[in-house]
Amino acid sequence: MKPAPSRHCGFTLIEVLVAITIMSLMAVLSWRGLDGMTRAQSQTQTRADEILTLQAGLMQWRSDLDNITQLTGTGNAAPMDWDGRVLRVTRRNTVDPTQGVLVVAWSRRVTDSGGQWLRWQSSPVRTRNELDQAWRLAELWAQNAGDEEKKQEIAITALDQWQVYFYRGDAWSNALSSDASGGPITVLPDGVRLTLTLPSGQTLVGDLTLDWIRPTLSGGKSI
């Protein structure tokens, strides 16, 4: 009796095609899973960065107000001014007090991508002339910033609108109506309220309010 012919080991063409199809589907599903994880991680990081940047900006705002000062030898030079567009303050230079004081300004600017809340800072100033010039530069920056002025600014967050209120006479009022003179503020208010309206599409949206109380406020007064 002749031995039965042996079968060749291996896969048929159909089996190979089926295996290739299955592996292709697995590769596509795996890639989509990885892509989804990457997108989710990127979105989470973006949200975290937005919150951290806003927190840092609010801390800087509070620090600027905490360190408001007058330049020695400048008489009654106002350390604060709010004109509805820009808040300017003269503050201590906490990095190197021997170099003089700083003028900082906060404002909102409309760009192609929407409104932005910005902070500008001058170089250290020591004389009244330098102080006056820094205040004028801060005003110019808020009105029509050029390339040079923009080098000294930092973008904080997207912003629809903002408002500043002062606490005086045991009441909050619009900062523009708090000083009848309409000029720079020679007597600091007991408190400053900042209200930001954050646009949609951000991690945080809607109104955000931050109250600052003057550190030297005495008499047990509460706000």
Long-range contacts of residues 214-220, Cβ cutoff 8 Å, at least 24 apart: 214/188, 214/189, 214/190, 215/66, 217/190, 217/191
Per-residue pLDDT of the chain (223 residues; tens, 9 = 90+): 555 555 555 667 777 777 777 887 777 777 777 666 777 677 667 777 888 999 999 999 999 999 999 877 665 678 999 999 999 999 999 999 999 999 999 999 998 889 999 999 999 999 999 999 999 999 999 999 888 889 999 999 999 999 999 998 889 998 887 554 555 666 789 999 999 999 998 888 899 999 999 887 655 455 5
pTM exceeding the 0.85 threshold for the entire prediction: no
Beta bridge partners of 208: 196
How high is the pLDDT of residue 121? 97
How high is the pLDDT of residue 7? 53
**Are residues 174 and 165 in contact, defined by beta-carbon separation less than 8 angstroms?**
yes
How high is the pLDDT of residue 66? 96
Element holding 109 (H helix, E strand): strand 102-111
How high is the pLDDT of residue 31? 72
How high is the pLDDT of residue 113? 85
How high is the pLDDT of residue 73? 64
Helix (H, G, I), strand (E, B) or coil at 193: strand
DSSP letter string over 137-185?
A: HHHHHHHH--HHHHTTEEEEEE-SEEEEEEEETTEEEEHHHH-TT-S-B
